[in-house]
């Protein structure tokens, strides 16, 4: 399979759906502005550019693009841009939020602070990783938002990722709860959490997926490693979703796959009233398009299933 094929497939799947009217927050550099414009050209989003108008126009001039086709909402600075974008989402004037050239803490802080964007679930981040040599997309969660999640937090993190997988067409995702080992050890808290999450799935406190854990990373993605260690599991070697113990482990895992393994990585925040496209300043064009495609597919799916 060619590099990025899973992400290209997501973009193709999203095209044809009505594009998402999306507030792009503080797109004042060429990379974030061009990412939004490329997504608009691919008919994934209808950007509403929110930020200091002079800086956005300067970035457009440097990039050699026109802002004439797009709505602009002028604000004084990045903090005001985040607040104004959140207001647009609360007022249902936009259907999604997209991070531009500002820090994640500033962007997400404005969202988390607004209770009207909350659902019954905790917000969490999911990376969609297109790794060469792995036959399906890997969902890694949470590697960006929840620092050191409690067991209760992990219930929402797992359910959010399962629901996202359903929206993307995976009817019964296999969920590996990761730790350093594949046996339960009182000395390693993540193994205790993993065993509890699996039992909660047995009791239907988590639904829609097949859970197993604790599993080490090799056992989760390699049939050979699982077989060598004598692990009999429907998840081992076939994982669709990798649930990491904390943000440090997850961030390292995702970036190692990206920078050493040649993976393409996109991402989205789920569990809010609207999809939140959380791009990185280092993201390539395909990753940005894939993130927008995932947001679009998710939003339209939620509209279909909403009572």
| pLDDT at residue 72 in the model | 97
Residues 6+ apart with CB under 8 A from 153: 122, 124, 146
Element (H, E) at 223: helix 223-228
The one-digit pLDDT tens for each residue of the chain (307 residues) are 446 788 899 999 999 999 999 999 999 999 999 999 999 999 999 999 999 999 999 999 999 999 999 999 999 999 999 999 999 999 999 999 999 999 999 999 999 999 999 999 999 999 999 999 899 999 999 999 999 999 999 999 999 999 999 999 999 999 999 999 999 999 999 999 999 999 999 999 999 999 999 999 999 999 999 999 999 999 999 999 999 999 999 999 999 999 999 999 999 999 999 999 998 766 778 888 999 999 999 999 998 876 5
| pLDDT at residue 283 in the model | 72
| pLDDT at residue 297 in the model | 97
The reported pTM is: 0.94
| pLDDT at residue 307 in the model | 57
Gap between the Cα atoms of 217 and 127, Å rounded: 16
CB 155 within 8 A of CB 121: no
Number of H helices, E strands in the chain: 11, 11
| pLDDT at residue 3 in the model | 63
Residue 31 DSSP one-character state: H
Evaluate the omega torsion of the peptide bond into residue 213 and state whether it is cis, within 30 degrees of 0: no
What domains, with CATH codes, occur in the chain? Answer: 1-118+272-307 (3.40.50.10950), 124-265 (3.40.718.10)
């Amino acid at each position: 399979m060619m590099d990025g094929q899973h992400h290209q497939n997501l973009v193709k799947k999203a095209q044809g759906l009505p594009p998402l009217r999306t507030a792009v927050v503080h797109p004042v550099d060429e990379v974030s502005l061009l990412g939004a414009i490329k997504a608009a050209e691919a008919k994934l989003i209808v950007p509403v550019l929110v930020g200091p108008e002079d800086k956005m126009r300067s970035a457009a001039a440097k990039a050699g693009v026109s802002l004439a086709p797009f709505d602009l909402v002028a604000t004084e600075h990045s903090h005001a841009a985040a607040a104004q974008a959140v207001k647009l989402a609360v007022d249902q004037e936009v259907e999604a939020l997209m991070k531009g050239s500002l820090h994640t803490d500033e962007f997400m802080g404005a969202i988390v602070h607004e209770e009207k964007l909350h659902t019954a679930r905790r917000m969490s981040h999911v990376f969609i990783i297109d790794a060469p040599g792995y036959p399906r997309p890997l969902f890694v969660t949470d590697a960006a938002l929840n620092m050191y999640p409690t067991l209760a937090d992990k219930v929402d993190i797992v359910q959010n990722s399962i629901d996202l997988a359903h929206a993307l067409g995976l009817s019964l995702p296999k969920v590996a709860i990761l730790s350093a080992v594949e046996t339960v050890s009182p000395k390693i808290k993540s193994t205790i959490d993993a065993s509890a999450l699996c039992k909660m799935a047995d009791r239907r406190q988590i639904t829609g997926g097949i859970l197993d854990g604790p599993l080490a990373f090799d056992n989760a993605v390699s049939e050979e490693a699982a077989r060598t260690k004598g692990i009999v599991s429907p998840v081992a070697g076939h994982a669709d979703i990798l649930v990491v113990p904390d943000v440090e482990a997850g961030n390292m895992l995702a970036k190692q796959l990206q920078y050493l393994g040649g993976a393409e990585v996109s991402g989205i925040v789920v569990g809010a009233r609207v999809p939140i496209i959380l791009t990185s300043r280092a993201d390539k064009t395909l990753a940005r398009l894939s993130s927008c495609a995932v947001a679009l597919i998710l939003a339209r799916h939620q509209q279909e299933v909403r009572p």
